[in-house]
Structures are given as C-alpha cells and as structure tokens.
Amino acid sequence: MSCKNSLKLFHSFIRPIALYNSENLAHLTHHQIRANEENKTTLLAYLTKSEVNTTHQKFLKFILGLKRNCSNMATLGELGEFPLHMYGLISLLSFWHRISLMQDDTLVKQALNFVTNEGPNSSEWLATVEFLVKALNLEENFADASGITTKQFTYVCSKKVKKLCTEQWRTAITRNSTESGLSNKLRFYSLLKADFEIEPYLENVNDFHLRKNICKLRCSDHKLEIETGRHKNLTLQLRVCQLCNSGIESEMHFMALCPLYEPLRMRYLGTRNENDIINLLKCNDKTTAFNVGNYIVKAMGLREQKILSKNSEFVL
C-alpha cells in the first residue's frame, strides 16, 4: 500500500478515536507551558513526545520501515506529517472560541466565565488557551472573540500552528547540537530536506524494500559507524570505516568515498561527486529513486558480507 493511502486510512479511522474529547483533554500542564515560555523546549518537541502522539509515531515508522528509536523529526519530515496532538490543540482552541460566543445563560458559558474569573493559574485548560493565542499572535481575538466567526478562527489557528511547527521542525533538523549537548544526528538529513512535505520517492517507489532502505539512509537509521558509534559512546573521530580505514564511515563516505563500493557506485550512481550524491538522494524521479535504492541495498549487503568475513578471519 502506498504511504499516502496508509495515511489517509489512519486519519479517517484512527485519528478520530485518538483525539476523542481532545477539546477538553489536549491541554498542556503548567510546567510544560513554563518550559515553552522559557525556551527550554518547543511546542513541537512536546507534541512529538506526548502520549496521544505515540500511536501516530509508531504508525509512521511502521509504514516507512524505520526503527522505533529513529528521529521523530525525520519521520515527520519524510511524510510531511504534523504531530497528532497538534490537531487536538486546534480543536481545543476552536471549542474555547465557540463557547465564548454563546449566551451567558447557557451552562457551558457560565462554566467558562467561572474558570476565567478564577484565572489561568487554577485551570491548565485556560492556561493552554492563553499560551497558544499568545504564541500565535491572536491576543486580539482572545480579548474579543466576537470579532471573528469560529470557522474563521479555527482556520487561522490551524494555519498559524502549522507554520509554527514547520519553523520549529526546520530549526530542529538544522541546529548543530541537541538539547542534551550531543551533536545533532540529523545534520546529514538537513542537507537533503528543505520543505516540510511528503517525499516523492515514497510514491514513486512501489517496492517496499527499496523504499525502506532509501528512507533508512536518509534518516540515519542504519548500521554505518557514524550511527552505531553513537551507541558505543565513541567520539566522531573514532567512528572509522572498518573496511577501508580511510575516514569516518558517514553516509557520504558510504555513498561517495569508500573504494569498496566503487563498481556499484559507477553502475547505479555514475558519480562520486558529493553535490551530485546529495541531489541523487533527494530521489525526485522514479529512475533516480530506483538506482539509489538498488545501490544502497547492494552496497549494504556487500558491507555486511565483508565485515562478517573480516571478523571470521580475526577469530581464526
């Protein structure tokens, strides 16, 4: 099944269940709001780690063929998917606006007035509304909700939240280091990805095996030393290619530099120029995607074979 059809099924059948009653339950905690206001985290980082988004992330990684510990930012970027919880926040804002326009004699409007009079410190739900309208520059609508219809307000909120999440996603993949101080594993991914939209190769390549291998290399979900060395706590300089010992075994080393793959490189890629390799890995057409996928599959197989042979000789 294509990725687009898989996503369509998910949003048609699973999303309504996952976001049931989100207009009441999708709010942030006071601690999460303070962390966002103090720039200790971002709204997107919270949304990707929230409980309601867990099922969504598992599903996205399943249809891409990625491991569960692969970067959430890369997963979202490959498919152009916003975190599921984001839609819950939009629903929450829309619900607040709809109640605000109700008559004062309705019970739900009286409940809102009571919460408002108590102040945001007594209600995480109201505090979330205030935080979001401030983050989205919609304070004018918060002060006077009657200036815009609920339908228009929901549309504006959706547009602004998506823009904010896209900006935070772009910052996340291009920064040099993570919040923990470690180097950002998506530095290679940022060379390939510019726009927050589904990648063409996900529709152009029908073979799941080829598609998966392209995705795994792009998202640094592979067995090259640049990634496995991270789990061994090796410094970057020590993540050397085991086969040629001529440099760090990065994605670019694998695609353009390691002499072991030169015959395959000439057969499928026709180049070892790094700029050309970056353009090839974007897989903008079917032929390119097919050639890149075949190179990755065959080169990874050759790599595994050579490493096993080398380790066997070492044991003997």
**Dihedral, CA of residue 126, residue 132, residue 135 and residue 140, to nearest 10:** -70
User: What pLDDT does residue 261 have?
Assistant: 95
What is the structure's pLDDT at 313? 65
Q: Return d(Cα 13, Cα 61) in angstroms, integer.
A: 18
Indicate the domain borders of the chain: 3-187, 199-315
Side-chain-side CA neighbours of 160 within 13 Å: the count stands at 16
Place of tokens 């599903």: 59
pTM of the model: 0.91
Q: Does the pLDDT at position 179 exceed 70?
A: no
Q: How many CB atoms lie within 10 A of CB 151?
A: 11
pLDDT band at 181 (very low <50, low <70, confident <90, very high): very low
Checking if the pLDDT of 155 tops 90, the result is yes
Q: Which of 65-69, 150-154, 177-181, 262-266 is least confident?
A: 177-181
> Binning pLDDT at 50, 70 and 90, where does residue 176 land?
low
pLDDT of residue 314: 55
Report how far residue 290's alpha carbon sits from residue 282's, in angstroms, rounded to the nearest whole number. Answer: 12
Mean pLDDT on 161-184: 81
Average pLDDT, the chain: 92
Largest CA-CA distance found in the chain, in angstroms, rounded: 86
CA distances from residue 83 to 70, 119, 272 in whole angstroms, order as listed = 15, 29, 37
Query: 298 is written with which tokens?
Result: 């065959």
What mean pLDDT is predicted for residues 276-299?
95
Q: What is the pLDDT of residue 157?
A: 97
Q: Which residue has the higher pLDDT, 271 or 101?
A: 101
Residue type, 45: A
Contacts within 8 Å (CB) and 24+ apart, 164-168: 164/43, 164/44, 164/135, 164/136, 165/43, 165/44, 165/47, 165/82, 165/83, 165/86, 166/196, 168/42, 168/43, 168/44, 168/45
- What pLDDT shows up at residue 316? 47
Is pLDDT at 259 greater than 90 in this prediction? yes
Alpha-carbon gap, residue 16 to 66, rounded angstroms: 25
Question: Which burial class, exposed, middle or buried, applies to 89 when counting CB atoms under 10 A from its CB (0-12, 13-18, 19+)?
Answer: buried
- Dist CA 250 CA 313 (whole Å): 25
What value, to the nearest 5°, has the Cα angle with vertex 107 and ends 101 and 109? 25
pLDDT in tens, 264-276: 999 999 988 888 9
- 29 secondary structure, DSSP code: P
| The pLDDT of residue 59 | 96
pLDDT in tens, 114-140: 999 998 888 999 999 999 999 999 999
**What confidence tens digit (pLDDT) does each residue in 189-245 have?**
999 998 999 999 999 999 999 999 999 999 999 999 999 998 888 888 899 999 999
* pLDDT at res. 120: 83
